Structure 1
Amino acid sequence: MAAAQPPPPAGSWATIPRPIRHLFDLFPLTTLPAEPLPARAPPRSRARPALYVFGRGDPSAGRPSFNPSCLKWQPLTGTQIARYARAHSPCAADIPQDPARAEPYSALIAQRIRPAWLYTLYLLPANFPLLSALYLPPSPLIALPTLHSLRRAAAAEILSTTRRPALSPPTLLADARDALAAIAALLADDEWFFSAPAPGLFDAEVFAYTHLVLDDGIGWADDELARCVAAFDNLVRHRDRLYRRCWPE
C-alpha cells in the first residue's frame, strides 16, 4: 500500500484552487515603486518652519487669518516668534520675552475665552452662515458631514476644557467676561502687556481673539461675545494699535 502523502504546507500553491492560480498567472501581483509627490506638494522636511494660515482672498496679501490659532502667530513672524526664536535664533537676546506671570493669563485665554469663541462660531445657530462661509465646502454632500464633525469637535473641546458635564452658553459667556476683565486689568493704561516696549507673544494671543470678535467685516450675526470685549476700552485700543502696527493701510 502506498504511503499517505503529507498535507501541503500552509500557503502552498496546492491549497489554492486552480482557477484562482490561473488568474494569478495572468495578472501577477507586483509591488510598484512609490510615485513621486505632485510638484506642488511640500517636501517632508523643511529647513525653516512654515506657518499655514486659514484666510480669505489672496494668501500672498498676508491679511489677518480668521482662525485665532493662526492669527496669534501672524503679528510675530520672523524673529518675534518668541518660543521658537529663543531656542533657534542667533539673535535671541534681542527678542522680547513674556514674563513668567503671563502663564496664568494665557491659561485664561485657553480655558475661558476660547470655549466661548468655539461656542459662538461653531455651535450658535445664528452664526451658522458665517461658519459655512469660513469652513464648509460648497458641495452639500460634503458640507453636512463636515459640519457635524466640526460641531462635535468644538463641543468635545469645550467640555474637556471647562470640565463640565454639559454646555451652558450663559456660563461660557460669563467666564469669558471675567477673563477679559482680568486681562484688561493687567493691561491697564499700558500700550503693551507687562509694560513691554514692543508687543510680545501674549499681546498676539489676546489680539487673536479680540480682533476677530470685534471685526465687523467677518459677518457675525450674534455679537454677544463682541459686546463682552467692547466693554473694555483698553482692550479695544490694544487691538486697534496692534492691527495698525502689523497691517498698516
Structure 2
Amino acid sequence: MSGAIESSKTRPRAQESSGWFTIPAPLARLFKKFPLLTYPPNELPARSPEIRDVPTLYVFISDEDALKGLPSFNPSCLKWQTFLKLVGIDFCVRSSNNHASPTGALPFLLPPSTPSNPRPQRPVPSSKLEQYGLDNGKSKPPKDLGSRLEAYESLLDHRIRNAWLYTLYLSPANSDLLTDLYIAPTTSSRPVRTTIMYQLRHAAELEILRSTGKDVIDAAALYKGAKEAFIALDAILGNEWLFGSEIPGLFDATLFSYTHLILHDEYYKGVGDPAIDIAGI
C-alpha cells in the first residue's frame, strides 16, 4: 500500500496537467505563430462626423428633408424640433428610426463634440429634452401655468392625438401614406412590410381604446372631439402665442406639431381623408 502511495506522489507532473483544457502541442505552436488580434472599432458613418459643433436631433424625416432642415412628419418629433428652435438652440436634424434610438423611441439628441472633447456624448432622450432646452437655450419660455395648462394639455394628448392616430394609422384612405412615411424606408421585403403595418395599426388601436375607454373605435366621435378641442384652444390664443404669452413655450410647440402637419398638404395630396378638415379650417 505504501509503495502505491509513494509511486503516485513521484508521478511526473506533466501527466497531472493533462485534461480537457490542455491545448495540444501542434495548436499551441500555431497560436504562437499567429497571435490573436483586436481590431479597432468601426468608424462612424460619413453622415455622422466625429466632430459636431452643434447638437444633432434624430427624428422621423427623409434624408433629403433632413439636409434642408425641414420639419419632421411625426408630431412627437416635430414637437421637440420646434421647441429647440423656439428656445434658440442651433442644431441639425438627421433621419433615424426607433430601432436606432437608445430608448427605442424617437426623437433623441446627441450633444455637440469638439476637438478638445471628441468622445461621443451620452444621448439625450425625449423625456429630458425640455430640461436640455432650458439649460442650453438662449431664451426662457414662460413658467408653468399650473392646472389651467394641464386641462388644455389633455385636449392635445387625447382628443387631437386620437384623431391623428386614427387618421394616419387606421384610416384605409391613408394606407399608402403610412407605407411611404414609416414602412417603405425601413425595408423592401413584402412580408416584413406586412408585419410592420400590422404592428403599427395594432399599437395605434390599443392606444386609442385605452385613451377613450371604449370597446370599439368611433371615427366620427374622434373627429368631433378633435374639432371641439381646436375650438377650445382657439379661445386661449393671444395675439400670437397661447395664453397671451409674449414668449412661446412647450405648449405652443406641441400644438404646432399637429396644426402644421394638418395644414401642410404636401403629404396629403390625393388622400381625400376627412380628417384634414377636423379643425374646421
TM-score in same-fold range (> 0.5): yes
Distance 1:90 1:67 in 2: 23
Query: Retained in 2: the 8 A contact 1:120–1:127?
Result: yes
| C-alpha distance after superposition, 1:59-105 (max 9, x if no partner) | 121101100001112222164588314763486xx402252222221
| C-alpha distance after superposition, 1:23-79 (max 9, x if no partner) | xx9xxxxxx98983552398xxx9997521111324121101100001112222164
What RMSD, in angstroms, separates the aligned Cα atoms of the two structures? Answer: 3.5
Instruction: Give the direction of change, closer, same or farther, for the CA distance of 1:223–1:126 in structure 2 (3 Å limit).
Output: closer
| Max Rg structure | 2
Note the C-alpha offset of 1:123.
0.4
Identify, as 1 or 2, the structure richer in strand.
2
Distance 1:102 1:111 in 2: 14
Instruction: Give the secondary-structure state (helix, strand or coil) at the position aligned to 2:61.
Output: coil
Instruction: Give the secondary-structure state (helix, strand or coil) at the position aligned to 2:236.
Output: helix
What letter matches 1:52 in structure 2?
Y
Query: Retained in 1: the 8 A contact 2:159–2:226?
Result: yes
1:145 and 2:195 aligned: yes
1:222 and 2:272 aligned: yes
**Correspondence for 2:67:** 60
Instruction: Give the direction of change, closer, same or farther, for the CA distance of 1:35–1:179 in structure 2 (3 Å limit).
Output: farther
Query: Retained in 2: the 8 A contact 1:213–1:226?
Result: yes
Note the C-alpha offset of 1:193.
0.6
Query: Retained in 2: the 8 A contact 1:112–1:172?
Result: yes
| C-alpha distance after superposition, 1:121-148 (max 9, x if no partner) | 0000011111111111233122111101
Distance 2:266 2:276 in 1: 13
**Correspondence for 2:243:** 194
> Tell me, which stretches of 5 or more residues in structure 1 are unaligned?
1-12, 14-24, 26-31, 232-249
Note the C-alpha offset of 1:174.
1.3
Distance 1:75 1:90 in 2: 13
What letter matches 1:214 in structure 2?
L
Correspondence list, 1:34-49, <5 A: 36=41, 39-40=44-45
Instruction: Give the direction of change, closer, same or farther, for the CA distance of 1:86–1:163 in structure 2 (3 Å limit).
Output: same
> Tell me, which stretches of 5 or more residues in structure 2 are unaligned?
1-19, 21-26, 28-36, 90-128
Distance 2:131 2:179 in 1: 34
1:182 and 2:241 aligned: no
What letter matches 1:40 in structure 2?
P
Query: Retained in 2: the 8 A contact 1:76–1:200?
Result: yes
**Correspondence for 1:163:** 213
2:254 is aligned, of 200, 205, 209, to 205
Q: Scaled by the length of structure 2, what TM-score is found?
A: 0.62
Instruction: Give the direction of change, closer, same or farther, for the CA distance of 1:67–1:90 in structure 2 (3 Å limit).
Output: closer
Instruction: Give the secondary-structure state (helix, strand or coil) at the position aligned to 2:59.
Output: coil
Distance 2:161 2:205 in 1: 12
Distance 1:164 1:194 in 2: 32
**Correspondence for 1:75:** 82
What letter matches 1:165 in structure 2?
D
| C-alpha distance after superposition, 1:152-189 (max 9, x if no partner) | 111111111222111111111111111111111111x5
2:152 is aligned, of 83, 97, 105, to 105
Identify, as 1 or 2, the structure richer in helix.
1
Tell me: higher relative CO, structure 1 or 2? Use CA pairs within 8 A at least 6 residues apart: 1
Distance 1:197 1:186 in 2: 13
